[in-house]
């Protein structure tokens, strides 16, 4: 069997992220941060003056948004920094860490709001519906503007999606405050304020659950959503010359950086270069996986009887793309 030559390169240190792509993703985050910080100031002032828990709850959520957007921007900046030789993927995964923190922060703020809503349901307090309504309208308009800025970039980054979910939950919160203000004006009962606050809590928990789950999947190095591992294995097994596929692993460094490694047992005398090239083309075209590493094993090689194959340094059987 012909063996693939070893790639001629130095230590495997991940390249620095593309500055232009990183800048493109930072721009909407910066705009959203300015808008959100402005709304935060207005909602805190409006909540205190109107005595509205729903408005203060939305302001508290807005505070986590400011922190989340700032953390997201920091994550992008850090991911573009040169990485030390021992950190071969650089700082890429800090983006996932930031997304997980965003989701956890949402759950904490929901718990605080829910507790305060429970207290106010037991002892409703009067609120100034007119001021509450005006601030809610301003907050909703600003959240819609921030969401529109982040919407197009949300699918390309879990970090940006976390920021978008924060803003979307804020928009729902502002809509809830608006509804509460209208109901208070119509009925004269302040009980709608804590009721809406509790509803906002449920929306916050629902919107952040998927973010936390997806972050957990990346940390656990599970196969990314949308990647059928069985289909990947079948596709590789169908490559001419391959007789068995094992030790197949598919995982994500970030949602857009998907990696794959696998051992391919091939027929004696098969052309290793052709098999490696066809395997890489197969998974890149069918599954969009661009970073792959394959270990070639001879069908009758006794050293490959177990799940690992001994490879002599002078003639490695692996390649990566």
| Cβ within 8 Å of residue 49, ≥6 positions away | 128, 131
188 torsion bin: left (phi>0), alpha (psi -120 to 50), beta (else): left
Please give the pLDDT value at position 262: 92
Does residue 150 contact residue 160 with C-beta atoms inside 8 Å? Answer: yes
What domains can be seen in the chain, in order of their start residue? 19-219 (1.20.1510.10), 229-320 (3.30.70.1350)
Closest-CA residue to 97 (of 1, 198, 214, 259): 214
Residues 173 and 197: their CA atoms lie apart, in Å, by 8
Does residue 180 contact residue 199 with C-beta atoms inside 8 Å? Answer: no
The helix or strand, by DSSP H or E, that contains position 258, with its residue range, turns out to be strand 257-266
Please give the pLDDT value at position 260: 92
The dihedral of CA 77, 106, 147, 138: what is its sign?
negative
Closest-CA residue to 96 (of 212, 206, 207): 212
Residues 315 and 295: their CA atoms lie apart, in Å, by 12
Residues 20 and 26: their CA atoms lie apart, in Å, by 10
pLDDT tens for the chain, 321 residues long, are 444 444 433 333 334 444 445 556 677 788 888 888 888 888 888 888 888 877 877 777 777 778 777 877 887 777 667 766 666 666 777 777 877 887 888 788 788 878 878 888 888 777 877 888 888 888 888 888 888 888 876 666 666 777 787 778 778 777 888 888 888 888 888 888 888 888 878 877 877 787 788 888 888 887 887 888 999 999 999 999 999 999 999 988 777 788 899 999 998 888 888 999 999 999 988 888 888 889 988 876 655 544 444 333 334 444 555
Please give the pLDDT value at position 203: 74
Long-range contacts of 229-232 (CB under 8 A, 24+ apart): 231/287, 232/260, 232/283, 232/287, 232/289
Neighbours of 9 (CB within 10 A): 8
DSSP class per residue in 51-105: T-HHHHHHHHHHHHHHHHHHHHHHHHHHHTSPPPTT-TTTTTTHHHHHHHHHHHH
Instruction: Tell me the residue length of the chain.
Output: 321
Does residue 164 contact residue 28 with C-beta atoms inside 8 Å? Answer: no
Does residue 156 contact residue 147 with C-beta atoms inside 8 Å? Answer: no
The dihedral of CA 160, 221, 213, 103: what is its sign?
negative
In Å, the largest CA–CA distance within the chain is 86
Residues 73 and 25: their CA atoms lie apart, in Å, by 9
């Amino acid at each position: 069997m012909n063996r693939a030559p070893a790639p001629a390169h130095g230590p495997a240190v991940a390249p620095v992220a593309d500055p232009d792509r990183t800048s493109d993703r930072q721009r909407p985050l910066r705009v959203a941060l300015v808008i959100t910080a402005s709304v935060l100031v207005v909602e805190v002032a409006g909540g205190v003056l109107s005595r509205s828990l729903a408005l203060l709850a939305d302001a508290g959520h807005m505070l986590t948004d400011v922190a989340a957007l700032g953390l997201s921007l920091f994550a992008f900046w850090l991911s573009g920094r040169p990485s030390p030789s021992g950190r071969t993927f650089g700082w890429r995964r800090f983006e996932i860490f930031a997304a997980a923190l965003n989701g956890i922060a949402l759950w904490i703020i929901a718990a605080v709001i829910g507790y305060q809503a429970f207290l106010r349901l037991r002892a409703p307090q009067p609120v100034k519906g007119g001021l509450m309504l005006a601030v809610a309208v301003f907050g909703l308009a600003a959240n819609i503007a921030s969401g529109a800025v982040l919407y197009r970039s949300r699918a390309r980054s879990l970090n940006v999606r976390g920021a978008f979910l924060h803003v979307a939950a804020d928009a729902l919160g502002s809509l809830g405050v608006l509804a509460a203000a209208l109901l208070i004006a119509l009925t004269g009962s302040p009980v709608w304020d804590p009721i809406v606050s509790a509803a906002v809590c449920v929306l916050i928990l629902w919107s952040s659950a998927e973010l936390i789950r997806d972050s957990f999947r990346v940390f656990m190095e599970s196969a990314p959503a949308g990647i059928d591992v069985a289909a990947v294995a079948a596709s590789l097994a169908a490559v001419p010359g391959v007789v068995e596929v094992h030790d197949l692993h598919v995982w994500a460094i970030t949602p857009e950086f998907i990696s794959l490694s696998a051992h391919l047992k091939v027929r004696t005398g098969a052309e290793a270069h052709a098999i490696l090239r066809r395997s890489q083309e197969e998974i890149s075209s069918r599954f969009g996986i661009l970073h792959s590493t394959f270990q070639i094993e001879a069908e009758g090689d006794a050293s490959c009887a177990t799940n690992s194959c001994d490879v002599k340094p002078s003639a490695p059987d692996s390649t990566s793309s």
